[in-house]
C-alpha cells in the first residue's frame, strides 16, 4: 500500500469533476483526479455529445427527405447505422483526446481505478490511498428503472440505445422527459414507429405547459404517438420483441422498450456515509457552498440535488475549486441555469414557468407569447414554434421559454435577461440582427415594453 498526498483529490472525471480539477490547477493546486472509466464521464461518452451527434444525423435525414420543398433534388436512401455510429464515435473520440491532452497539459494526475471515500479526506483506489487537503466528490449518475422493471435484453436504457446497431422498426419509450423525447426524435427521423408513454399529463412535464403542448402538437404531426397520463403496468419479452402493457389496459408491441424515467445519484457503496457524508435519497447533502457534512469534502454535479445537466456540473466544479482555494465565488444560481431539449423541434427555457411565476407573484405577472410564424428566419427554415416570456408586472423578466428548430442557441440571451433581472424596457432598445430567429425574442421584449413591431 502507498499513500499519496495532494492539495485536491477529485473522485470522478465527468463534467463536474474535470472542471473542478482544471480550475483547481489554474489556482495553483496540485490535483489528483480518480476515474474508473474514461474522463469526460456520462456527458462526453454516453450523454450530451453522442446523443446530439445522433440528433444531427436525424436532422440531416429530415432535411434530405424534405429537400424538394426548397427546390433541391435529393433522394433519401435510408440510414446506415454503422456509419452513423462511426460519425458519432469519431466526434466523441476527438473530444476525448482533446480533454485528455488538456488534463495532461494542466499537470493533473489522472489515476485509473475505482475510488472509495475514507475518513480524513482519503480516497482508496485498490491498495493505494490518495489524501487531499480537500476532496471533491463527482461520481455522477446512472439510468434509473421502475420497481420490477429489469433492464436487459430488449429492455434498454439510454446506454443500451446508443449501443444498438440497428434502427428499431417499432419502439416504446417509457418517460416523456428530456432523454425520452430526444431518442423519440432521433428514431422517428430514422424511420421508426415511436410511442412515448408518460405517466404525467404532458411531454417535458417540467417545462412551461405552453411548450409541452406545442411539442405534443409537433410530435403528433411527425407521427410520434404520445400516451399521456397513463402508467406502465408490465412487460413480456421474447427474442423478437417486447409487449408493454399499460394500466389503462392498452398493450403495445415493439422491438425495444427504452426506459427513460430519470437518473439516480451514483453514491451507493462508495464509503460516503461511513466517512460522515450525509445522503438524502441517495443525493449528497450540501450547503449553499457545495460543502458536504464533512468539512473540506465538497460535492458537484449530478450527485447534488437539482438539475442534472453538464453545464451545471461545469459551473459547480469551477465554484468548488474557487471556494476551496479561498476565493469567494458566487454560488451557482440554480434558478438561471438554461435547459435545452435538443429534439426536433427544440425546447429551451430558463427561469420560472408562467405557473411558477403566478404561484409566487399571483396576478402580478405579465406574459407575452410570440408565434414563430411571424419570424422571417423561422419561415425560411420551415419551423413552427413559440417564444414566451414571463415578467413581473412592471418588473423584471422571470422566465424565457422557446420551442422551434434551432432555438436552443437563443436561450443564452434569455439567461442574461433572467439572471440580470432585466426589464423588457431595458432590452427593447437592443437591436436584433435581421433576419434571425433571435428577432422573435426582440419582438417579445418590444411587446412587453408596450411597442410591438411585427405583432398586434
Q: Is residue 434 annotated as part of the catalytic site, yes or no?
A: yes
| Closest of 135, 143, 137 to residue 162, by C-alpha | 143
Among 174, 204, 224, 270, binds ligand FAD (CB under 6 A): 270
Counting residues that bind ligand FAD (by CB under 6 A) gives 37
The stretch among 190-198, 303-311, 363-371, 403-411 that binds ligand FAD (CB under 6 A) is 303-311
Among 137, 199, 261, 310, binds ligand FAD (CB under 6 A): 310
Cα distance between residue 341 and residue 175, in whole Å: 14
Q: Closer to ligand FAD by CB, 126 or 229: give it.
A: 126
Spatial distance between the Cα atoms of 289 and 70, rounded to a whole number of angstroms:
53
**11 lies in the site for ligand FAD, by CB under 6 A:** yes
Interaction of residue 168 with ligand FAD, rule CB under 6 A:
no
Closer Cβ to ligand FAD, 241 or 317, answer by number: 317
From residue 250 to residue 269, what is the string marking binding to ligand FAD with x (rule CB under 6 A)?
----------------x---
How far, CA to CA in Å, does 144 sit from each of 8, 257, 278, 420, 425?
Answer: 31, 14, 21, 36, 45
Distance CA 102, CA 38 (A): 14
Q: Which is nearer to ligand FAD, 283 or 342 (CB)?
A: 342
* Residue 239, all three cell numbers: 427474442
CA 173, 403, 49, 59 torsion-angle sign: positive
Binding status of residue 51 toward ligand FAD by CB under 6 A: yes
Judged by beta carbon, residue 43 or residue 84, the one nearer ligand FAD is 43
Interactions with ligand FAD, residue window 93-122 (CB under 6 A): 114-115
Instruction: Please report how close the Cβ of residue 366 comes to ligand FAD at its closest, in angstroms.
Output: 30
Stretches 13-21, 197-205, 272-280, 417-425: which one binds ligand FAD (CB under 6 A)?
13-21
d(CA 445, CA 430): 9
6 belongs to the binding site for ligand FAD (CB under 6 A)? no
Task: Compute the least distance from the CB of residue 183 to ligand FAD, in Å.
Answer: 8
Cα distance between residue 226 and residue 214, in whole Å: 13
47 scored as a contact of ligand FAD (CB under 6 A): yes
313 binds ligand FAD (CB under 6 A): yes
Tell whether residue 346 is a contact of ligand FAD (CB under 6 A).
no
Residue whose CB is less far from ligand FAD, 273 or 426? 273
Task: Closer to ligand FAD by CB, 52 or 222: give it.
Answer: 52
- Reduced to 3 states (helix: H, G, I; strand: E, B; else coil), residue 113 is coil
Half-sphere exposure of 316 (CA within 13 A, CB side): 32
- Give the three-state DSSP class for 352: coil
Question: Shortest approach of ligand FAD to residue 88 CB, angstroms?
Answer: 12
Helical segments of 199-252, H only: 209-222
- Verify cis geometry, omega within 30 degrees of 0, for the bond prior to 416: no
**What are the two backbone dihedrals, phi and then psi, of residue 426, each rounded to the nearest 5 degrees?**
-70, -35
Least separation in angstroms between residue 19's CB and ligand FAD is 8
Nearest partner of 286 among 2, 8, 16, judged by Cα = 16
Is 194 or 365 the residue whose CB approaches ligand FAD more closely? 194
Per annotation, catalytic residue among 202, 311, 434, 454 = 434
Gyration radius (Cα) of the chain, Å: 23
Angle at 340 (CA atoms; ends 336, 342), nearest 5 degrees: 170
Which listed residue (25, 32, 33, 42) binds ligand FAD by CB under 6 A?
Answer: 42
Q: Name which position in 85, 308, 415, 438 contacts ligand FAD (CB under 6 A).
A: 308
Q: How far apart, in whole angstroms, are the C-alpha atoms of residue 370 and residue 348?
A: 15
Closer residue to ligand FAD (CB): 55 or 390: 55
Task: Report the C-alpha gap between 272 and 134 in whole angstroms.
Answer: 15
**Nearest-angstrom CA–CA distance, 326 and 176:** 42
Residues that are catalytic: 434
Name the residues that contact ligand FAD, by CB under 6 A: 11-17, 34-37, 41-43, 46-48, 51-52, 114-115, 138-141, 158, 179, 266, 270, 301-302, 308-311, 313, 342
Amino acid at each position: 500500500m502507498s499513500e499519496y498526498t495532494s492539495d485536491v483529490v477529485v473522485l470522478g472525471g465527468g463534467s463536474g469533476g474535470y472542471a473542478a480539477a482544471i480550475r483547481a490547477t489554474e489556482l495553483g493546486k496540485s490535483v489528483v483526479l480518480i476515474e474508473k472509466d474514461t474522463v469526460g464521464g456520462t456527458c462526453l461518452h454516453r450523454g450530451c455529445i453522442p446523443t446530439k451527434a445522433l440528433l444531427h444525423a436525424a436532422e440531416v435525414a429530415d432535411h434530405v427527405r424534405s429537400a424538394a420543398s426548397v427546390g433541391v433534388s435529393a433522394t433519401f436512401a435510408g440510414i446506415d447505422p454503422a456509419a452513423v455510429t462511426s460519425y458519432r464515435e469519431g466526434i466523441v473520440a476527438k473530444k476525448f483526446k482533446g480533454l485528455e491532452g488538456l488534463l495532461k497539459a494542466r499537470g493533473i494526475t489522472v489515476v485509473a481505478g475505482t475510488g472509495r471515500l475514507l475518513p480524513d479526506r482519503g480516497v482508496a483506489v485498490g491498495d493505494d490511498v490518495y489524501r487531499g487537503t480537500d476532496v471533491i466528490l463527482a461520481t455522477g449518475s446512472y439510468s434509473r428503472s421502475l420497481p420490477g422493471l429489469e433492464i436487459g435484453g430488449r429492455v434498454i436504457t439510454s446506454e443500451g440505445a446508443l449501443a444498438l446497431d440497428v434502427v428499431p422498426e417499432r419502439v416504446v419509450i417509457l418517460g416523456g422527459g428530456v432523454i425520452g423525447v430526444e431518442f423519440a426524435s432521433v428514431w422517428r427521423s430514422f424511420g421508426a414507429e415511436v410511442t412515448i408513454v408518460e405517466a404525467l399529463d404532458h411531454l417535458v412535464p417540467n417545462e412551461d405547459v405552453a411548450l409541452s403542448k406545442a411539442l405534443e402538437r409537433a410530435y403528433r404531426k411527425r407521427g410520434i404517438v404520445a400516451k399521456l397520463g397513463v402508467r406502465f403496468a408490465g412487460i413480456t419479452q421474447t427474442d423478437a420483441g417486447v409487449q408493454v402493457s399499460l394500466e389503462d389496459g392498452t398493450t403495445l408491441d415493439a422491438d425495444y422498450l427504452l426506459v427513460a424515467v430519470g437518473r439516480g445519484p451514483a453514491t451507493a457503496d462508495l464509503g460516503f456515509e461511513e466517512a460522515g457524508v450525509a445522503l438524502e435519497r441517495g443525493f449528497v447533502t450540501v450547503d449553499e457552498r457545495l460543502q458536504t457534512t464533512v468539512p473540506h469534502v465538497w460535492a458537484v454535479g449530478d450527485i447534488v440535488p437539482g438539475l442534472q445537466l453538464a453545464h451545471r456540473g461545469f459551473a459547480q466544479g469551477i465554484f468548488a475549486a474557487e471556494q476551496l482555494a479561498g476565493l469567494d465565488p458566487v454560488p451557482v444560481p440554480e434558478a438561471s441555469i438554461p435547459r435545452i431539449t435538443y429534439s426536433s423541434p427544440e425546447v429551451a427555457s430558463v427561469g420560472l414557468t408562467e405557473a411558477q411565476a403566478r404561484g409566487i407573484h399571483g396576478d402580478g405577472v405579465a406574459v407575452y407569447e410570440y408565434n414563430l410564424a411571424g419570424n422571417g428566419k423561422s419561415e425560411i427554415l420551415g419551423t413552427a414554434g413559440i417564444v414566451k416570456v414571463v415578467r413581473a408586472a412592471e418588473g423584471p423578466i422571470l422566465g424565457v421559454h422557446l420551442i422551434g428548430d434551432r432555438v436552443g442557441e437563443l436561450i443564452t440571451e434569455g439567461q442574461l435577461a433572467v439572471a440580470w433581472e432585466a426589464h423588457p424596457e431595458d432590452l427593447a432598445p437592443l437591436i436584433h440582427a435581421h433576419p434571425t430567429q433571435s428577432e422573435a425574442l426582440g419582438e417579445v421584449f418590444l411587446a412587453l415594453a408596450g411597442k410591438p413591431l411585427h405583432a398586434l
